[in-house]
Structure 1
Amino acid sequence: MLFRLTDVRKAYGGQEVLRGLSLQVNAGERVGLVGRNGAGKTTIFRLIAGDEVPDSGEVTRARNIRLGMLAQHVEFEPDATVHEVALSAFGELQRIEREMRALEHRMAEGADDLERVLDRYSELQHRFEREGGFEYAARAEAVLEGLGFGRETWSLETAKLSGGQKNRLGLARLLLSSPDVLLLDEPTNHLDTAAVEWLEEFLENYPSAYVIISHDRYLLDRVCERIIEVEGGRATSYTGNYTRYIIEREARREAQRRAYEQQQEFIARTEEFIRRNIAGQKTKQAKSRRKMLERLERIEAVREERASGDFSLREIVRAGTQVLTLEDLSIGYDERALACGINLLLRRGESLGIIGPNGSGKTTFVKTLLGKLAPLAGEVRWGTNVRIGYYAQQLDDLDPRNEVIMELRRVAPSTATAGELRSFLARFLFTGDDVYKRVGDLSGGERGRLALAKLIYSRDNVLVLDEPTNHLDIPSREALEAALDEYPGTIIVISHDRYFLDRIVTQILAFDGQGQVEHFLGNYTEYHAWKKAQKAMPVEERKRSDKREHPRRKGGERRAEPARDVSAIEAEIEEQEACLKAVAEEMAKAETACDPLRLRSLREEYQRIEERLCKLYEEWEAIVAKVEGVA
């Protein structure tokens, strides 16, 4: 046992956040902590770390446990450099190293107690080697690069870093300190996709335990083997990753719902028997049953989930078939190109996902599409009858001086009544006096919901979204995804949320940060698998494949095709992956969870497809290895 919370209660200002919560994390466990914003997840971390004390209940920690918690705001010595902060995670090794240098200096000067100095030096040298002293600098540099700190940034003083950079550096220092348990609160908040993928690989190989609070469902799927859900001030544990948690939660809720209904029917029948017989010939039986009911352990009714927001999109005006055409587009500032030669065709109803590292040109690209920046070269051509709605990541279209209802009125027709606006805002969880809050007083999540409300009320047939899920918790993200999934218009979205991209987009435009852009027909997972396959190809074969793919990416009409000798296998892989996705979506449906036989059948089918995919991947790798050997 690393730590345990037992019947913990915690309130702030009279509002009880934790109501008898109990949970335990053991050595080596990989846990995801999920729940709505405000459910108490960060409070749990603060209780574990000892930064808070419970109002009642008990927090127990293993003796001498080393906890490592990622703070939301980190500070460093102002004159320390990025490199020095990373190395500071190895404070004890650095202390040993300094003492060894001092002993070396004394040996060189011919110390009077040379034998004692030599013994001490030998002792330190063995300890230094045993604890990784010869590798720690390389480890620090690898983590820095993995989290997006190129070598050119290592000499920067921390006082010159942005808030996001400081958080990334704090994460780097925490990971390098290798505590017994990592407590990571939204570790991906300031990471681009490449850094998130690096973090996932790091955590997959991390030897100790960790607990992660995250809205990144893709991350939770990949690195967690247990999910703890915090709801209603209590904790419920599920074995498996996020996807399995969703399936198991629905199955448990349905089983609880049936058990509750059956018990209520039993209680009603028993009470009716007692009522009819308490004064009659069967009075003894009636009294016995009354005592039995008093001792009966009551099953709780399933707690109905709080509303996540109704992001249902309103009816829109139909645009032309070809919504957006880009021809040899180059983007950038003052003749400095960030990306060149972008070609694609986006039709009505299609969705384009834009991915890439920070600073690679994603937002510049969107601003160019919107006409806020002029192209450096090439052409942006919108189709007929196009009406564009834009959701900015910084939410800078919101006026902080306005009340919520007045902010919505900015995009409403003059005939809209206050009642209509209040009703519409209620779908986005602004109820009662919430509509009179000042925009400047709203939380990040509330501002995000208000910006989406404005966008949806506008009835635009093209939505351009810059990180729309950043300020939303998981239930709100799922509600938005459901709405966008049914949206008949066209979507262009910048997002680091890979789960969201898999659900929504039909095309990927990937910026690499070096001026190159790839256009791929498919969702994020399909693109990622294709990139992995490309990297596994022999160099010459990859060059030949790239030559064949270029005109197809340019026109945006077909998926890039890998090498011909493995194309049949990859076609079947693609088909099986599509089947796997379809089965997973079917399993996630509420009506499926209500049908245990159907759910069991789907689970078996899911397992069969996974096994077939494993064999296909092995076959593909064998062929690629053979080709590489011949080359």
Structure 2
Amino acid sequence: MIRLDNITKQNGHQIVFIEASAALNRGEKIGLVGPNGAGKTTLFRIIAGQEQPDEGQVSTDRGITIGYFSQDVGEMSGRSAVAEVMNGAGPVSELAEELKELEAAMADPDRADEMEQIIERYGDVQGHFEELGGYALESRAREVLGGLSFTQEMMDGDVGALSGGWKMRVALARILLMRPDAMLLDEPSNHLDLESLIWLEQFLQNYDGMLLMTSHDREFMNRIVGKIVEIDGGSLTSYSGDHEFYEQQRAISEKQQQAQFERQQAMLAKELKFIERFKARASHAAQVQSRVKQIAKIERVEPPKRRQAVKFEFQQAPRSGEDVVSIKGVDKRYGPLTIYDGLDFHVRRRERWCILGVNGAGKSTLLKLVAGTSEPDKGSVNIGASVKMGYFAQHAMDLLDGERTVFEELEYTFPQAGTGALRTLAGCFGFSGDDVEKPCRVLSGGEKARLVMAKMLYDPPNFLVLDEPTNHLDMATKEMLIEALANYEGAMLLVSHDRRFLAALTNRVLELTPEGPHVYGGGYTEYVERTGQEAPGLAR
């Protein structure tokens, strides 16, 4: 379906691909993986025709349609969300526009002498429009937007009034509605809540075209893909199986390559020892020369490329009292919308709560009330004795000083810490080498999230309030964070759409429903087992 034959690509001084080849076949669902900066987005752009390889070629079957979702959604305004989605549906949306123009032409008395041709063209366009399911297009667009958690008001409102995250969903819905022969999705799971993520997972499982996707959500990828293409060191390597199988195979390959490397090094050391010992003896000259030539001909085995994984270890957090947060009789409304009516909720030491609920249920509102960035209309929110809170929210990334470098931001926050300790901290959160000299204003969303997380966790609070902490984080950073938080002894209150994160770290669940809050005594895994659903209102 799509073939990459010996492509080479260089961006500035960075060589991204060196004679890389891969085949993407009809019906395959493929996960694209590789370290940050390896060239995943560049590969998407090359396949989509937005960039050309310096050498080699990309060939696609004749007539196939390709839909590409990227993180750069561009400007959107002046249309409703549903119209914006329909506008990207390829030939169907073009035919819909032509039908409107032809209907206007038929009602125009000045074009009476063209009426026969207009009516004939209208019949042709209408027939083609019906064949492509055009009359069902709007209902399909609304169904896709509904799956991505849009309300009817949001669907019909101006798309320009939406936040960046919701515009991302509109751009994603456009590609899903198009249902192209080949779908390229660059981080489609970013900016989605748990309900939308599970809906998208099911949609992609039922999609019968070729799918190539990246995602930092391990669970999401494992449930969809049956093949992995890895970008590393300029080459493309294919693995059959999901992401978990790929990791196992990669570990086996690394072990085998390391063993081959060590065997060859031992053999070379032995040969070089012989040469060094006998090079001055005339009686062994022929043997020495023969071995020198043999060594020169040997193809060297390279040691495996090891991905650097830095562990982060918490300093001991000060102990809090047994009662961390006490919420009593809280009412909260936004205009006519009631979020809470007499909410009671308690967090105690060492409890790790995840908050579940559909969009608008009040998950982030609860975290804001606890963090003190929002006030209840009625009732009380009391923080317990000796509680030191750390609050991570998306807006916290906007509070970084754009003129400071990463290292200066850490140094400003922790003036008593040594340079070595701060560099180690930066390294744990993915800032190695020259990365610490980047000004905060040029950091990506993921880099900003990692820096804010590093600042919060270095001098550890004993109560963590986390609103979507894994947004923008790559798999390696998530795994490091899960490992670090698994040993954390404080209390936690968190909202996340990452099921692996929830399953690994929670021991309590608060489900916010229209009927009122429901408390579950186990963690997220126990919640799924007891309710038969992975999110409120969605059957497993």
When structure 1 is superposed on structure 2, of 90-99 and 247-256 the one drifting more is: 90-99
Structure 1, unmatched stretches of 5+, are: 543-616, 618-631
Matches within 5 A, 1:151-230: 151-230=152-231
Matches within 5 A, 1:86-165: 86-90=85-89, 92-93=91-92, 127-165=128-166
Q: Does 1:368 align with 2:369?
A: yes
Counterpart in 1 of 2:402? 400
Specify whether residues 324 and 99 from structure 1 end up closer, same or farther in structure 2 by C-alpha distance, changes over 3 A only: closer
Checking the alignment, whether the CA contact within 8 Å between 1:337 and 1:376 is kept in structure 2 is no
Checking the alignment, whether the CA contact within 8 Å between 2:194 and 2:497 is kept in structure 1 is yes
2: CA distance between counterparts of 1:311 and 1:165?
33
Offset of 1:70 from its aligned partner? 1.0
Q: Which residue identity does 1:354 align to in structure 2?
A: I
Counterpart in 2 of 1:301? 303
Offset of 1:206 from its aligned partner? 0.4
Checking the alignment, whether the CA contact within 8 Å between 2:356 and 2:536 is kept in structure 1 is no
Counterpart in 2 of 1:496? 497
Q: Which residue identity does 1:187 align to in structure 2?
A: P
Matches within 5 A, 1:213-612: 213-276=214-277, 289-307=291-309, 309-333=310-334, 337-394=338-395, 395-412=397-414, 415-417=416-418, 420-422=421-423, 424-430=425-431, 435=436, 437-512=438-513, 514=514, 516-532=516-532
Checking the alignment, whether the CA contact within 8 Å between 1:463 and 1:492 is kept in structure 2 is yes
Q: Which residue identity does 2:68 align to in structure 1?
A: M
Q: Which residue identity does 2:347 align to in structure 1?
A: L
When structure 1 is superposed on structure 2, of 434-443 and 458-467 the one drifting more is: 434-443
Offset of 1:45 from its aligned partner? 0.8
Offset of 1:438 from its aligned partner? 3.9
Counterpart in 2 of 1:577? none
Secondary structure in structure 2 of the residue aligned to 1:191: coil
Q: Which residue identity does 2:392 align to in structure 1?
A: Y
Specify whether residues 252 and 526 from structure 1 end up closer, same or farther in structure 2 by C-alpha distance, changes over 3 A only: farther
Counterpart in 1 of 2:50? 51
Specify whether residues 430 and 86 from structure 1 end up closer, same or farther in structure 2 by C-alpha distance, changes over 3 A only: closer
Specify whether residues 136 and 407 from structure 1 end up closer, same or farther in structure 2 by C-alpha distance, changes over 3 A only: closer
2: CA distance between counterparts of 1:249 and 1:268?
28
1: CA distance between counterparts of 2:455 and 2:114?
79
Offset of 1:492 from its aligned partner? 1.8
Offset of 1:449 from its aligned partner? 2.6
Specify whether residues 161 and 491 from structure 1 end up closer, same or farther in structure 2 by C-alpha distance, changes over 3 A only: closer
Specify whether residues 289 and 169 from structure 1 end up closer, same or farther in structure 2 by C-alpha distance, changes over 3 A only: same
Specify whether residues 133 and 430 from structure 1 end up closer, same or farther in structure 2 by C-alpha distance, changes over 3 A only: closer
Checking the alignment, whether the CA contact within 8 Å between 2:330 and 2:344 is kept in structure 1 is yes
Offset of 1:270 from its aligned partner? 3.6
Counterpart in 1 of 2:73? 74
Offset of 1:192 from its aligned partner? 1.7
Q: Deviation digits for residues 322-363 of structure 1, max 9, x if unmatched?
A: 433444544445795313454444333332222444443222
Specify whether residues 164 and 405 from structure 1 end up closer, same or farther in structure 2 by C-alpha distance, changes over 3 A only: closer
Offset of 1:503 from its aligned partner? 1.9
Secondary structure in structure 2 of the residue aligned to 1:142: helix
Secondary structure in structure 2 of the residue aligned to 1:190: coil
Secondary structure in structure 2 of the residue aligned to 1:135: helix
2: CA distance between counterparts of 1:379 and 1:470?
30
Number of positions where the alignment pairs a residue of Structure 1 with one of Structure 2: 533
Offset of 1:43 from its aligned partner? 0.8
Checking the alignment, whether the CA contact within 8 Å between 2:5 and 2:22 is kept in structure 1 is yes
Q: Does 1:21 align with 2:20?
A: yes
When structure 1 is superposed on structure 2, of 166-175 and 131-140 the one drifting more is: 131-140
Specify whether residues 298 and 409 from structure 1 end up closer, same or farther in structure 2 by C-alpha distance, changes over 3 A only: closer
Checking the alignment, whether the CA contact within 8 Å between 2:168 and 2:191 is kept in structure 1 is yes
Q: Does 1:6 align with 2:9?
A: no
Specify whether residues 333 and 264 from structure 1 end up closer, same or farther in structure 2 by C-alpha distance, changes over 3 A only: same
Specify whether residues 155 and 334 from structure 1 end up closer, same or farther in structure 2 by C-alpha distance, changes over 3 A only: closer
Checking the alignment, whether the CA contact within 8 Å between 1:328 and 1:341 is kept in structure 2 is yes
Q: Which residue identity does 2:78 align to in structure 1?
A: D
Q: Deviation digits for residues 286-341 of structure 1, max 9, x if unmatched?
A: 6555544444333220112134x543211221223443344454444579531345
Counterpart in 1 of 2:33? 34
When structure 1 is superposed on structure 2, of 170-179 and 95-104 the one drifting more is: 95-104
Q: Which residue identity does 1:473 align to in structure 2?
A: D
Offset of 1:224 from its aligned partner? 1.0
Q: RCO greater where, 1 or 2, for CA within 8 Å and sep 6 or more?
A: 2
Offset of 1:44 from its aligned partner? 0.8
Matches within 5 A, 1:60-71: 60-71=59-70
Q: Deviation digits for residues 30-81 of structure 1, max 9, x if unmatched?
A: 0111223222110111111121222333333333332111132335774332
1: CA distance between counterparts of 2:384 and 2:22?
56
Q: Deviation digits for residues 83-113 of structure 1, max 9, x if unmatched?
A: 222333445345666669969998xx9x999
Offset of 1:185 from its aligned partner? 1.0
1: CA distance between counterparts of 2:225 and 2:489?
35
Specify whether residues 255 and 332 from structure 1 end up closer, same or farther in structure 2 by C-alpha distance, changes over 3 A only: farther
When structure 1 is superposed on structure 2, of 343-352 and 257-266 the one drifting more is: 343-352
Secondary structure in structure 1 of the residue aligned to 2:11: strand
* TM-score of the two chains, using structure 1 as the length reference: 0.74
Q: Which residue identity does 2:519 align to in structure 1?
A: H
Checking the alignment, whether the CA contact within 8 Å between 1:86 and 1:140 is kept in structure 2 is yes
Checking the alignment, whether the CA contact within 8 Å between 2:189 and 2:197 is kept in structure 1 is yes
Q: Does 1:83 align with 2:85?
A: no
2: CA distance between counterparts of 1:501 and 1:51?
38
Structure 2, unmatched stretches of 5+, are: none
Secondary structure in structure 1 of the residue aligned to 2:532: helix
Offset of 1:215 from its aligned partner? 1.1
2: CA distance between counterparts of 1:254 and 1:349?
39
Checking the alignment, whether the CA contact within 8 Å between 1:331 and 1:368 is kept in structure 2 is no
Q: Deviation digits for residues 585-614 of structure 1, max 9, x if unmatched?
A: xxxxxxxxxxxxxxxxxxxxxxxxxxxxxx
1: CA distance between counterparts of 2:128 and 2:431?
60
Specify whether residues 53 and 391 from structure 1 end up closer, same or farther in structure 2 by C-alpha distance, changes over 3 A only: same
Specify whether residues 344 and 157 from structure 1 end up closer, same or farther in structure 2 by C-alpha distance, changes over 3 A only: closer
Q: Which residue identity does 2:521 align to in structure 1?
A: L
Over the residues paired in the alignment, what is the CA RMSD in angstroms?
Answer: 3.8
Checking the alignment, whether the CA contact within 8 Å between 2:86 and 2:141 is kept in structure 1 is yes
Checking the alignment, whether the CA contact within 8 Å between 1:464 and 1:493 is kept in structure 2 is yes
